[in-house]
């Protein structure tokens, strides 16, 4: 069964993307889905169910590990 995932990583600085955005894109591309579309406002990946679900798990973990401390909890 084919699946598709669309995700956005913010904030996105056009001069230099933050580490969590680079990590998320790298993980999805490494998962080798059938197709990957990376854009400034959203990213999509399509492929088999296990492939896409595995990529989602890995991209969330990578993005959270590289996010700035306190950013996800709302602290400045």
Compute the distance between CA of residue 42 and CA of residue 33 in angstroms, rounded to an integer.
Answer: 16
φ, ψ dihedrals at 36, nearest 5°? -135, 130
Diameter of the chain measured on Cα atoms: 42
**SS3 assignment, position 18:** coil
User: Residue 13: what pLDDT?
Assistant: 61
Indicate if the pLDDT at residue 74 is higher than 60: no
The string of pLDDT tens digits covering residues 8-64 is 777 666 677 777 777 877 887 787 778 888 777 788 889 998 888 888 888 888 878
Quote the crossing angle between the two packed helices 49-66 and 19-30, to the nearest 10°. 160
Query: Taking residues 69-76, what's their average pLDDT?
Result: 50
- Predicted model pTM: 0.63
User: Residue 76: what pLDDT?
Assistant: 43
């Amino acid at each position: 069964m084919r699946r598709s995932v669309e995700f956005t990583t913010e904030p996105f600085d056009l001069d230099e993307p933050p580490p969590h955005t680079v990590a998320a894109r790298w993980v999805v591309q490494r998962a080798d889905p059938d197709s990957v579309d990376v854009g400034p406002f959203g990213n999509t990946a399509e492929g088999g169910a296990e492939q896409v679900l595995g990529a989602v798990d890995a991209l969330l973990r990578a993005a959270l590990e590289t996010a700035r401390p306190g950013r996800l909890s709302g602290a400045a």
